[in-house]
Amino acid sequence: MMPSIHQSKIKTNKNLTILSIESSCDDTACALVQSDGTVFAEQIYSQKEHVEFGGVVPEIAARAHLSHLSTLVKKILSQAQLDWSEIDAIAATCGPGLIGGVIVGSSFAKGLALAQNLPFIGINHIEAHALTVRIPNISSVQVQFPYLLFLTSGGHCQCIHVTNIGEYQRLGGTIDDAAGEAFDKVAKMLGLSWPGGPALEALAKEGDENAFSLPRPLYGRPGCDFSFSGLKTAVANLLTGYENTDTLPRQLAADIAASFQKAITTAIINRLENAIKMVPDTTLLATAGGVAANQYLRKRLLALAEQYKLPFIAPPMKYCTDNAVMIGWAAIEILHQASNTNKLIDDISLLPRPRWPLSEMSERFKH
């Protein structure tokens, strides 16, 4: 990462305004975010092009990002009634994620930064999720370090000890499928539409969560890793003889959905209980990621936090899933931390990456 003369434009003692872009998967998003937490404008295009395939097709996702980004940026500038002179920096996801989409979004943002002579801040998508709960006014609790984050989405399931900006300790994670992936695959087995997670949650409300005794993978074992593949196999075994989901009775499907949701949540709570014990200095339990929008899971997480006398923070549902507000806020946090450590941040030479470990985030403050 090579500092540029653009950085001289950043005055972190003022209220920064960041134009941000998120394109790591199938949501194309843009936002204008201020460092006091004000969201001037935000736009998101949730790609429908993947529905007929029952999952995200990377090439289609990248093309959709390319088609919609320019329009979305114009919309947020118009909505906020801001011009380029009022924007301090441009931020975009540079990884991890589907590499085609990451390339499209970050390249588009870099082009804007060069054209407008503004700094470019490359954002780690996971770091942005981790810092979402620190956005001012997102809850009644002011989030201080350190805190325990349970990140759960279609591509990630991790327990992360967040000790400062750029300082993250991965306590445990999935050894096979992420929780969101498990929700989607079980939903598909039940003949539900994609995306499967919300559809399964809705169906589960009609079912009996005690109808079937399903495995709780790794329950009771040390550590806070996760495994969901065996749970998916158990559901598949229940559906033997119903390969054509059109013949699957709705009540049976609802009972399976409810039993699955209970089993996966119970396993998650057990693993998180271990994580809490691993970091006794944590100030609260937070969650983020698309699966964190599941209300059944949120209630169980709240009960766990209360058991250990910890505050529980979950972002509003629209900020659990991929969004550009979290990208802009992460850029603001990074710029303030860079100012505190007398570092210059301009990531115009940062390459997009499909994988980008959180353990590397502290490097930007060391040079």
Instruction: Check the annotation: does 201 bind a ligand.
Output: yes
For residues 132 and 289, what is the distance between their CA atoms, to the nearest angstrom?
A: 10
For residues 327 and 124, what is the distance between their CA atoms, to the nearest angstrom?
A: 8
Q: How far is CA 337 from CA 11, 26, 167, in A?
A: 12, 30, 11
| SS3 readout for 69-138 | HHHHHHHHHHHHCCCHHHCCEEEEEEECCCHHHHHHHHHHHHHHHHHHCCCEEEEEHHHHHHHHHHCCCC
Per-residue b or e along 93-109, where b marks 16 or more CB atoms closer than 10 Å to that residue's CB: bbbbbbbbbbbbbbebb
Instruction: Check the annotation: does 129 bind a ligand.
Output: yes
Q: Which tokens belong to 95? A: 């990884």
Instruction: Check the annotation: does 151 bind a ligand.
Output: yes
For residues 329 and 36, what is the distance between their CA atoms, to the nearest angstrom?
A: 10
- Is residue 325 left, alpha or beta, with left meaning phi > 0 and alpha meaning psi from -120 to 50? alpha
* Residue 270 identity (one-letter amino acid): N
Residues with Cβ < 8 Å from 35, sequence gap 6 or more? 15, 16, 17, 18, 332, 336
Instruction: Check the annotation: does 336 bind a ligand.
Output: no
Q: Which tokens belong to 236? A: 């598949």
Instruction: Check the annotation: does 155 bind a ligand.
Output: yes
Short-list 121, 117, 88, 84, CA closest to 105: 121
Instruction: Check the annotation: does 154 bind a ligand.
Output: yes
Binding residues for substrate: 151-155, 184, 197, 201, 294
Binding residues: 125, 129, 151-155, 184, 197, 201, 294, 322
Residues making up the annotated binding site for Fe cation are 125, 129, 322
